[in-house]
Chain A
Amino acid sequence: MQTKDLEPVAGNGLLHRRAFIRGGAALAAAMTGYIQSASAQQLAEDPWSLKPGATVPDYEVRSQFEKKVVRTLSNPKGEPRTQHARTPHHLINATFPPNALHFVISHAGDPDPDPDKHRLVIHGLVKKPLVFTLDTLSRYPMVSRMAFVECGGNSAPLFSKEPIAADVQALHGLVSCAEWTGVMLSTLLEETGIDPKAKWVIAEGADAPHLSRSVPVSKALDDAMIALYQNGERIMPSNGYPMRLLLPGWEGNMNIKFVRRLELTTLPNMSYYEARTYAPVLPGGKAYQFYFIQEVKSFITHPSPGLALKGPGFYEISGIAYSGTGRISKVMVSADGGKSWAQAALQEPLHSKAFTRFRIPWRWDGGAAVLQSRAWDDAGYMQPTRAQLVAERGETTQIPAVTAFPSQHCNAITTWAVNASGEVKHVYA
């Protein structure tokens, strides 16, 4: 063990990202402060070790002790308005959250399409309009793609003029990541042919709102997919069973669920969601249109509000980074509110436009600390500070409800303050 590994590499106790690997157990023991306490309890056989257990179920659900790990629901009674189900990133440790915890926004509830009757039509400015069944699509060459899907309104509480006391689920729960498997849209468009006049693909779902969004043809031919599987099983009902449009790195709402129709056109639809909803208003009153891209972002999930530290010593700071413009190339972490930074380790393999888990060892001295993470991607984009984002995009004058969406496309740095009791709170720094 090299003693220099015990030396912090940045303020407030951040250690080298490989300190744990280099130093091994001795280092870990040295850092935790309890080398060997003499008070270890004598172990006895527990009741569950003394008899055969339960029958294995055909479709497994998690342990009874994990029932609090749930999505939070904004509209649990399904009243006639949008429903949001937010992923509890602080209660799991996920690069690919389980399907049952994948975030959802549903504008009029989830339909229940019969997979044998569902159809996908491609028409408009094509040479040969075609209709596909789930059965026929299942015979096409498939690809798997690790991709995050994020609501354009995720992280919107950071537009509040004052920090809203909330956890990572409330602030950043409208993003998840999965292995999506399906047929490349380019494969299907080869079959229909494309009229060179086509500039847009208007995608429409089979849900009650017949939700529609317009996608540039170049994106459709680049990496768009008709996804049939989510983490290996058929797509969850709330995520678009039996098929959804996947547009890696682009605004969640554009990834049309229950997709049933793609029309190639000269102009965009200027649908309600693109002309009105996902058009963030700038200071002065003009609004951004066709934002499309979910820009590079990161946030710390462990520790975070609701996960209090239990005494000074060693902790691993861990979080999620992702970018709609490429692969995460670097994540820096600060424990002193951005005065000094240390580079976090990135969990490999690194997928473009997918979650990347970052980790860094930290020796908490029991005093006040201010934790931040900042991400870069391989296209050269850097996550902005909140001050930088607000300078361009503005902030509220009133404190909105944590569930409100004062604006969209917030990718600013998130700050957690740790106090001497180990409690973690959302702050601005």
Chain B
Amino acid sequence: MCMPSFRHFFVLLAVVLASNAAFAQAPNLGKPITPAELAAWDINVLPDGTGLPPGSGKPADGARIYAAKCSACHGESAKGGANAALVGAPPMKDMESVKTIANFWPFATTIFDYIRRTMPWRQPRSLTNDEVYAVTAYILSLNKLIGENDTMNAQTLPKVKMPNRDGFIVRFPERIDR
């Protein structure tokens, strides 16, 4: 097992090396890149809401987008089709319980992050940020995790309380850097 002091040594080593202007070994062939140049790729959302873009959406708008772009795979009203249902399922009991957004996903931000990076399956990155917020709002509303008229945006989405937020045990806590 990697001891904490060992890990800290590596972090410290990297910091020391990075702060040293003269890299004897490093080829230094990386080219600097600015946030503006990176904007189109910069899509990570963190569970505290960091990375959520401007924009907003409501469940009713999301329902229209869902019907056009999501229902073919996930079924009418997100009840499931060729691919997973996005509503329902009782609380988790064991390995045979079906994992759904309402009974399993610990953070609402994951819904936005995943739709924006991966969905629709055949046309990822084709939705605008407003559309991603709207579909996220629609799914949360179907699961009764927000109200029918609630708006999802960078401020409201991270505050949505997910039922299974405390349903996890970190397998090897010593592997996580604190």
Mask, B9-42, CB within 8 Å of A = 1, is 0110111011100010111111111110010011
- Point out the residues of chain A lying under 8 angstroms from B91, CB to CB: 285
Q: Measured between alpha carbons, how far is A219 from B6 in the docked complex, in Å? A: 11
- Cβ of B161 within 8 Å of any chain A Cβ, yes or no, is no
Beyond A186-B14, A221-B14, A271-B113, whether A290 also contacts B30 by CB under 8 A is no
Query: Which has the most chain B C-beta neighbours within 10 Å: A136, A285, A325, A398?
Result: A285
> In the complex, which residues 106-151 of chain B have their Cβ closer than 8 Å to any Cβ of chain A?
106-107, 109-110, 113-114, 117-118, 121-122, 124-125
- Chain A stretch 378-410: residues in CB contact (< 8 A) with chain B: 379, 393-398, 406-407
A30, B7: Cα distance in complex, Å: 56
B66 contacts chain A at the CB level, 8 A cutoff: no
Q: Which residues of B contact A129 (CB under 8 A)?
A: 32-35, 38
Decide yes or no: A287 and B124 within 8 Å by CB, A141-B25, A199-B177 being known contacts. no
Asked if B67 lies at the interface with its beta carbon under 8 angstroms from chain A, I say no
In the complex, what distance in Å separates the CA atom of A417 from the CA atom of B117? 47
Chain A residue at smallest Cβ distance from B26:
A191
Residues of B within 8 A of A261 (CB): 41
Question: Given the known A-B contacts A210-B124, A217-B177, A293-B172, are A190 and B95 also in contact in the complex, defined by CB atoms under 8 Å?
Answer: no
A414 in the interface, Cβ–Cβ < 8 Å? no
Contacting residue for B168 out of A79, A190, A265, A289, CB 8 A? A289
Is B2 an interface residue, CB under 8 A from the partner? yes
Interface centre among A211, A260, A268 (most CB of B within 10 A): A268
A190 touches B17 (CB 8 A): yes
Q: Please, how many angstroms separate the alpha-carbon atoms of A386 and B135 in the complex?
A: 43
Interface residues of B toward A: which range? 35 or more
Interface contact A80-B121, CB-CB below 8 Å: yes
For chains A and B in complex, what number of residue pairs have CB atoms within 8 angstroms?
229
**Contact partner, A194, options B11, B92, B110, Cβ 8 Å:** B11
Q: Say yes or no for A216: interface residue by CB 8 A criterion.
A: yes
Least CB distance from A405 to B in Å reads 10
Question: Which of A64-72, A237-245, A275-283 is the interface stretch?
Answer: A275-283
A204 surroundings in chain B (CB, below 8 A): 41, 43-44, 117
Taking a contact as CB atoms under 8 Å apart, the answer to whether B171 and A271 are in contact is: no
Rounded to whole Å, the gap between the CB of A11 and the closest CB of chain B is 34
Report the minimum CB–CB distance from A272 to chain B (whole Å): 4
Q: How far is the CA of A118 from the CA of B14 in the complex (A)?
A: 26
Q: Does B68 contact A (CB under 8 A)?
A: no
| Contact (A290, B176) CB under 8 Å given A141-B25, A270-B47, A272-B114 | yes
Give the contacting residue for A140; candidates B27, B95, B124; CB below 8 A. B27
A315-355 vs B, CB cutoff 8 Å, 1 = contact: the mask equals 00000000001000000000000000000000000000000
Query: Would you call A131 and B31 a contact (CB within 8 A)?
Result: yes
Q: A270-B46, A272-B110, A281-B99 are in contact. Are A81 and B83 (CB under 8 A)?
A: yes
Q: Is the CB of A123 within 8 A of B33?
A: yes
Within 8 Å of chain B (Cβ to Cβ): is A128?
yes
Contacts of B13 in A (CB 8 A): 221
With both chains docked as a complex, state the minimum distance between the C-beta of A253 and any C-beta of chain B, in angstroms. Answer: 14
Other than A141-B27, A218-B2, A406-B95, give 8 A-B pairs with Cβ distance below 8 A. Answer: A108-B118, A129-B33, A131-B33, A271-B114, A276-B104, A287-B104, A393-B95, A396-B95
Q: List 18 A-B contacts (CB under 8 A).
A: A127-B19, A131-B30, A136-B31, A139-B29, A190-B18, A196-B15, A216-B176, A217-B177, A263-B44, A267-B48, A269-B113, A276-B105, A279-B99, A281-B95, A285-B93, A285-B97, A292-B175, A394-B95
User: B interface vs A, CB < 8 Å?
Assistant: 1-2, 7, 10-11, 13-15, 17-19, 23, 25-35, 38, 41-48, 50, 73, 82-83, 91-97, 99, 104-107, 109-110, 113-114, 117-118, 121-122, 124-125, 167-172, 175-178
Shortest 7 CB-CB contacts between residues of A and residues of B: A193-B18, A130-B30, A285-B92, A218-B7, A210-B117, A136-B29, A289-B168
